[in-house]
Structure 1
Amino acid sequence: MAWFFRAEQRIVPEEKTGSNPLELGCGEDMEMKSHTFLRLWTLTALLVFSVALLVGCAKVRAPESVMDTPEHHTNNGMRSFEKGDLDEAQREFTLALELAPKYGPAHVGVGLVQAARYVKVQDIQEKERLLDKAFDSLKSGKKYAKGKEQKVFARVGYIRVFTMTKPKGWLEDAKQNFDYAVLDDDQAPAPYYFMGEAYKQAYKFSEAASMYRKVLDLDTEYTAEANQAWELVQKIQ
């Protein structure tokens, strides 16, 4: 019995210190899964980085002539827009953005075109799509605006789009953008003129007349349009 006890004492430690094949297999399996996950994660990260690099390095269209500039195309686009030629205006703004994807005024122009199209269509879903696109473009125009002139142009774009589309609370939103525009440049006539147009469409003729009067006092741009509008609201009041 003593021998058996001593033998058992010798055997037990050997079993405890020995390796368990099942435990070893589980450890190897976990290690393999960990390595596989790490490789997949690395490949995914490399793929995302490669796509971002390709997008970031995408080349813009090279100008084909001295007149092929974002500024020139945007000016042409605005002239076409004021004439009501929305297709030509959109074409010019697109050409501008092909040359300079971050040219703020061209984005504002696109927003104006989408808002004008919103007014023309009847389908509810299409109107919602156009309105969303208009405000997305205005947001980009404001984001990429450089200098007070472009900042004012972006704010005026908001005033005009709110006036055309008239979503809920549009007049207050237009006035807020007018206030920002005047903070950027209180001598720019466009904010006063288009805020006057907003007030006129809201039947606030006294406020509209005040805006038109300011344009006439500045006597730089929009004077003919402001004078005609001022005379009209004077007759209505």
Structure 2
Amino acid sequence: MLKNYASRLSLFALILFAACSTKPQSDVDTPEYHFKAGMRAIDNEDFQQAITSFQRSVDLDSKFALGYGGLGLANAYLKDTKKAKDFASKCASRGSKNPEALALSARIWITMRDMEKKWFKRAEGLLEKALKRNENHEGSQYWFGVAYLYNYQFKEAEDYFRTVVSKRGEYAGKADSKWKLSQKIVRAMPGTPAGKRVALKEKINRADLAVLFSEELKIGVLFDRMPVQSTGFQSPSQAAQTANIAIPNDSKGHWAETWIKDMIRYGVMNVEPDGNFYPDDNINRATYAIAVQRLLVVATRDESLETKYFGEAQSRFSDVPSSHFAYNAMALCAERGIMQADMMTGRFTPTGAVTGADALLIIRGLQSSLRMTF
């Protein structure tokens, strides 16, 4: 009797399990296939489609760790940290012996770096576990480099990326790009927290530039060292004692309002004719050169610098005529070694974006130029 009851119970459990499981519909309807499809959707920033693919992978196999990791990653990009952390935990627990799953869980925490204070500690712990499982695991080494990079430990990041590049494996291309960025930031030597944050940006805007000029160039200290003038030119701090600085409407309450006010006070960055500063507009190489030119004019009190190279018979650049509105600024920067044209093509690329690392390197060149001036 008991044996028959046990047999019926086992049969019922088997039927229930079969009813709750999702059966594959074709040979490619596998957890692995849907995981790869989900990762492609992540690369294309189609996070909802990614969730659909990852969900299918765990529907097919409830123990498939990478599927949960994919769900965590998609939700991290969507800024749903509660779900992201839950799926990261499931991925790490179900894939505790799989370095690929542990590295994916770490990637989720790296993606949440702007939302979670302990992101680095969590990512570091997972990556250490992954490398204990396989000390040569390429993905774990790559994401360790990324974690160090976003934690502003640029030398450590550089070491990991160098190791991954030497393997010439799946991550070599991405690691090479990050390695070059790390090297550039190390050369630029950001000396302030603000500088380190901006160094990682792919494109800087006018607010970022105001912060860099204030914090990294220390423009206030530079100008305050100028001798007191009884007439004519006054340093910004001297002039500020008798002048009220009006904050543009679009900069009131902006996170960079203080630095924007400084740039307007110093006369280095201007308010547009419509009364706005446009702090969130991206800076290109031409507008950066103009800002550098204005700073040099104010610092040296030599207004002739603004027209020194304009209208040269022969342009110094293969892609910019000497009649270009920013030609003088570009020529001035090139002449002083602050910004350079491409050595092979001679192109200045005036509309090209300025990365945070490049912006810092330009500031270092500007500092060298100003040291020669004073």
TM range (shorter): 0.5 to 0.7
Alignment of 1:205-220 (within 5 A): 205-220=154-169
Q: For residue 245 of structure 2, what is the aligned residue in structure 1?
A: none
1:92 and 2:39 are equivalent in the alignment: no
C-alpha RMSD of matched pairs (Å): 2.1
* Contact map agreement 1:138 1:154 (CA 8 A) in 2: no
Q: Deviations over 1:57-112 (max 9, x none)?
A: 64312111110011111111112112211111111111112211221110110010
- Which of 162, 171, 183 does residue 109 from structure 2 map onto? 162
Q: Distance in 1 between matches of 2:30 and 2:177?
A: 34
d(CA) in 1 for partners of 2:137, 2:45? 24
Distance 1:169 1:143 in 2: 19
In the alignment, residue 140 of structure 1 is paired with which amino acid? K
Structure ranking higher in helix proportion:
1
* 1:55 shift after superposition: 6.4
Partner of 1:80: 41
Q: Aligned partners of 2:122, 2:38: CA distance in 1, in Å?
A: 25
Partner in structure 1 of residue 67 of structure 2 = 106
Give the secondary structure class of the aligned counterpart of 2:78: helix
CA contact (8 A) 2:35 2:53 kept: yes
- CA-to-aligned-CA distance 1:165-185 (integer Å, 9 cap, x gap): 121222122111111010111
**Counterparts of 1:214-229 in structure 2 under 5 Å?**
214-229=163-178
Q: Distance in 2 between matches of 1:171 and 1:59?
A: 38
C-alpha distance in 2, partners of 1:154/1:87? 21
1:96-154 superposed Cα distances (whole Å, 9 cap, x missing partner): 12211221110110010111100xxxxxxxxxxx21211211222222227x5xx2122
Aligned pairs for 1:83-232 (under 5 A) are 83-118=44-79, 130-145=80-95, 148=97, 151-166=98-113, 167-232=116-181
Residue 209 of structure 1 aligns to a residue whose secondary structure is helix
How far apart in 2 are the matches of 1:55 and 1:217?
A: 51
Return 130-139 or 225-234, whichever deviates more. 130-139
Q: Which has the larger radius of gyration?
A: 1
User: Do the aligned partners of 1:208 and 1:233 also contact (CA within 8 Å) in 2?
Assistant: yes
Pairwise CA distance, 1:215: 0.5
Number of aligned residues: 173
Question: Which residue of the partner structure matches residue 44 of structure 1?
Answer: none
Q: Secondary structure of 2:169's match?
A: coil
Q: Counterparts of 1:216 and 1:200 in 2: how far apart (Å)?
A: 16
For the 8 Å contact 2:31–2:60, the answer to whether it is kept is yes
**2:20 equivalent to 1:71:** no
Percent identity, aligned pairs only? 28
- Which amino acid in the other structure matches residue 84 of structure 2? A
CA distance in 2, matches of 1:157, 1:191: 9
Q: What is aligned with 1:31?
A: none
What is the rounded CA distance, in whole Å, between the counterparts of 1:88 and 1:178 in structure 2?
A: 27
What is the alpha-carbon distance in structure 2 between the residues aligned to residue 56 and residue 138 of structure 1?
25
How far apart, CA to CA, are the structure 2 residues paired with 1:215 and 1:105?
Answer: 22
Q: Is the 8 A contact 1:156 1:178 kept in 2?
A: yes
